[in-house]
Chain A
Amino acid sequence: MSEVAIASRIPLDDYAALLGEGEIDELRVLAKPLRGRSIEMINSTAVGGGVAEILNRLLPLAEELELNMRWDVMTGGDDFYGVTKAFHNALHGAPYHADPKDFEIFLACNERNRARLPLDAEFMIIHDPQPAALIEGRQKNGNHWAWRCHIDLSHPNRAVWDFLDKFVARYDAAMFSSPEFSRSLPIPQYLFYPAIDPLSEKNRELESGFVARTLAQYQIDPLRPILTQISRFDRLKDPVGVIRAYRIVKRYFDCQLVLAGGGASDDPEGAVVLKEVLVEANGEADIHIIELPAWAPLEVNALQRASTIVIQKSLREGFGLTVSEALWKKKPVVASAVGGIPVQIIHKHTGLLAHSVEGAAYQIRFLLSHPEIAAKLGENGHEHVKENFLITQKLKRYMTLFLAMARAK
């Protein structure tokens, strides 16, 4: 069996200091009618990736609320993960030649996992396309099945989506990170946001000394404005576009740019993109290109906290949780209006949206010229995250879904 064991408990009361006692009591109120009822989360990996990161934080909280929530991971061979990676890219709109053998591998793996996994919880939450066909193992016990899709389905490859659609349509509900990602389906579709944990290493308060040491480590000047984009070295994050926007800003402000992220050492495509970025940067001293290890939460936290403005100039984006991370730290954010970003950045209220290199540069210049507006956007952004994108809100949303599904039957 592949149930994931969660090591650390997070006392619910630790969140009360940040959110208030009333919010925590409300979670307890919602949890009460769900106690003793089983919940099963299933995804395709226990480590790495946003879903695993969220579930790792969600389950201890559920445990604190005395919810009977378990997390199982499906297992598959290299052939299965090769197929699902191709599906993932195709669902994001990448070219893909549909090979019947791929669909057979996908179905065979799901069938093996149907035999292994209990699939008997009252509330079954299946994450992403990989385990979507587990719905075929639905038992006739009146349990509720919901499919949580974390990826951008706004322009999916037709063959892959038509194949998945047959399974998804059999669920009781589907959840997407943005209305733009929803599909024409015969089942209710809900808006579900990813979430950050304010007490995690990536988001908790840091000592100023640690932030200063991190800047010193990467030779970043703490006395001049710092523009930062944290993201994998991936063309869809447009790191080259960020450098071009920075160069426009640099004509007016003596600032620095930090491009920090992982993905170059274990991903051949990431290494190619990193090279392109280095070529574009051309050794300029004020452009700091930092290759972080795959898991460097404290460094990310420190770089975000040290930033004057955080940028997320993606060309495509699932949700872009780095935006919520920056907003939680009260940073003004300039970001592209793609994917789930407009949900986080309410233009001119919680940040500024841009649609081009020139637009991003203009918004950055505007904020550098108006620090009081930048500070207000950061304050509003923090409140927006507190209200909508924290792990506690995510658990609340799940509990509301369970209660609504149970009521509908």
Chain B
Amino acid sequence: MYTTETPFEFFTVSYLTRIGNQSASTLAEFLKGLQQCSDASIFHHTFQTLSSHHFLTEGFSNDFAQWAHADASREDLAEQLAALDVRDYLSIAALRGDLCRVVGDYCNEHRDFAEQTALERFYFCESVEVTLPFGLTARTLEEFRDGIAHLSHASFYFHFLSSRLRLQLQTNDFSHWLADGLGLGTLADSVNHIDIYTNTLDSARAKVLRLIDRERRKG
């Protein structure tokens, strides 16, 4: 049986959306907003939106890309923004840098479009986070599996996705503990490679559980 002295503690997270004081009706204003908005705003429109819209597995990546597509009608820009994968970033600053670069380059190459008014304004909002222990801990792979099976969406998202920023590593809480706590590096890698953009939180969780079950059968 796989076991460890360092238990995994499950947490849950709940977010309030704070309405910021910036909005944009043109790409030029949008770029300015991206440059000036808070880190909590970049987080909200990229990481957090993946939780609140996790059920969209086709063509939805982040709020910025959706606005470029549906409101600014700049399909080519939308594709570039949608292609940014939050899992590649260890900091909001790096993600912001790439968002600004993509929109800035587009505005420079298409100066006429930069000042065109979009159908609807983009409002920059922020996530305000409250975290609490979920009341579950795990020391064994079995307890870990049971815990994951019982989590809420928000809790699963907290450990599986937003943890990357907290850890400042290209991994997630689950994989981190599987590798460091239980010494299951291969399982940790497999869990880390589940594609959150083409899975809902439910289907991602089901894949994690299947991977753990396969490991348990081996053990």
* Residues of A bordering B, CB below 8 Å: 20-23, 25-26, 29-30, 32-33, 176, 179-180, 182, 184, 188-191, 337, 342, 346-350, 353, 355, 380, 383-384, 387-388, 396-397, 399-401, 403-404, 407
Q: Which residues of chain A come closer than 8 Å to B18, judged between CB atoms?
A: 188-191
> Which residue of A182, A346, A355, A407 contacts B56 across the interface (Cβ within 8 Å)?
A346
The closest CB in chain A to the CB of B133 belongs to A29
5 extra A-B contacts, CB within 8 A, seeds A347-B70, A348-B70, A400-B130: A346-B66, A355-B119, A380-B55, A384-B53, A387-B53
Q: Which 7 A-B pairs have the closest CB atoms?
A: A179-B123, A383-B55, A26-B152, A191-B17, A347-B70, A22-B152, A400-B14
> Which residue of B16, B133, B151 contacts A190 across the interface (Cβ within 8 Å)?
B16
Q: Which residues of chain A come closer than 8 Å to B56, judged between CB atoms?
A: 346, 349-350, 380
CB of B167 within 8 Å of the partner chain: no
29 A–B pairs (Cβ distance < 8 Å), ordered by A = A22-B150, A22-B151, A22-B155, A23-B152, A25-B134, A26-B14, A26-B155, A29-B132, A29-B135, A30-B130, A30-B132, A32-B132, A33-B132, A176-B19, A179-B123, A182-B19, A188-B18, A191-B16, A337-B119, A346-B70, A380-B56, A383-B55, A387-B52, A387-B153, A397-B16, A400-B14, A400-B128, A403-B14, A404-B16
Q: Which residues of chain A come closer than 8 Å to B19, judged between CB atoms?
A: 176, 179, 182, 189-191
Residues of B69-119 whose CB lies within 8 A of A: 70, 119
Known contacts A22-B152, A189-B19, A346-B66; is-contact A404 B128 (Cβ 8 Å)? yes
Q: How far is the CA of A380 from the CA of B152 in the complex (A)?
A: 19
The reply to whether B70 and A353 form a contact with Cβ atoms under 8 Å apart is: yes
The reply to whether B130 and A403 form a contact with Cβ atoms under 8 Å apart is: yes
CB of B54 within 8 Å of the partner chain: yes
A185 smallest CB distance to B (angstroms): 10
Q: Which residues of chain B come closer than 8 Å to A350, judged between CB atoms?
A: 56
The reply to whether B14 and A399 form a contact with Cβ atoms under 8 Å apart is: yes
Q: Which residues of chain B come closer than 8 Å to A20, judged between CB atoms?
A: 152
Q: How far is the CA of A337 from the CA of B119 in the complex (A)?
A: 9
Known contacts A384-B53, A403-B130; is-contact A29 B12 (Cβ 8 Å)? yes
Q: How far is the CA of A150 from the CA of B12 in the complex (A)?
A: 29
The reply to whether B130 and A407 form a contact with Cβ atoms under 8 Å apart is: yes
Q: Which residues of chain B come closer than 8 Å to A348, judged between CB atoms?
A: 59, 70
* Contact bitstring B120-144, A, C-beta under 8 A = 1, else 0: 1101010010101111000000000
How many chain B residues touch A (Cβ–Cβ < 8 Å)?
A: 36
CB of B169 within 8 Å of the partner chain: no
Residues of B1-55 whose CB lies within 8 A of A: 12, 14-19, 21, 23, 52-55
The reply to whether A26 and B23 form a contact with Cβ atoms under 8 Å apart is: no
CB of B60 within 8 Å of the partner chain: yes
Known contacts A20-B152, A353-B70; is-contact A191 B55 (Cβ 8 Å)? no
Q: Which residues of chain B come closer than 8 Å to A396, judged between CB atoms?
A: 14
CB of B154 within 8 Å of the partner chain: yes
> Which residue of A30, A180, A188 contacts B14 across the interface (Cβ within 8 Å)?
A30
The reply to whether A346 and B60 form a contact with Cβ atoms under 8 Å apart is: yes
* Contact bitstring B152-187, A, C-beta under 8 A = 1, else 0: 111100000000000000000000000000000000
The closest CB in chain B to the CB of A398 belongs to B16
Known contacts A20-B152, A25-B152, A30-B14; is-contact A387 B60 (Cβ 8 Å)? no
Q: How far is the CA of A388 from the CA of B119 in the complex (A)?
A: 24
Q: How far is the CA of A180 from the CA of B19 in the complex (A)?
A: 9
> Which residue of B15, B55, B119 contacts A384 across the interface (Cβ within 8 Å)?
B55
Known contacts A30-B14, A349-B56; is-contact A191 B125 (Cβ 8 Å)? yes
> Which residue of B52, B123, B134, B200 contacts A26 across the interface (Cβ within 8 Å)?
B134
Known contacts A25-B150, A355-B119, A399-B14; is-contact A179 B125 (Cβ 8 Å)? yes
The reply to whether B14 and A21 form a contact with Cβ atoms under 8 Å apart is: no
A31 smallest CB distance to B (angstroms): 10
B143 smallest CB distance to A (angstroms): 16
Q: Which of B55, B120, B135 gathers most chain A CB within 10 Å?
A: B55
A222 smallest CB distance to B (angstroms): 30
Q: Which residues of chain A come closer than 8 Å to B12, judged between CB atoms?
A: 26, 29-30
Q: How far is the CA of A384 from the CA of B57 in the complex (A)?
A: 12
Q: Which residues of chain A come closer than 8 Å to B53, judged between CB atoms?
A: 346, 349, 384, 387
Q: Which residues of chain B come closer than 8 Å to A29, judged between CB atoms?
A: 12, 132-135
Q: Which residues of chain A come closer than 8 Å to B52, judged between CB atoms?
A: 387-388
Known contacts A191-B17, A383-B55; is-contact A404 B123 (Cβ 8 Å)? no
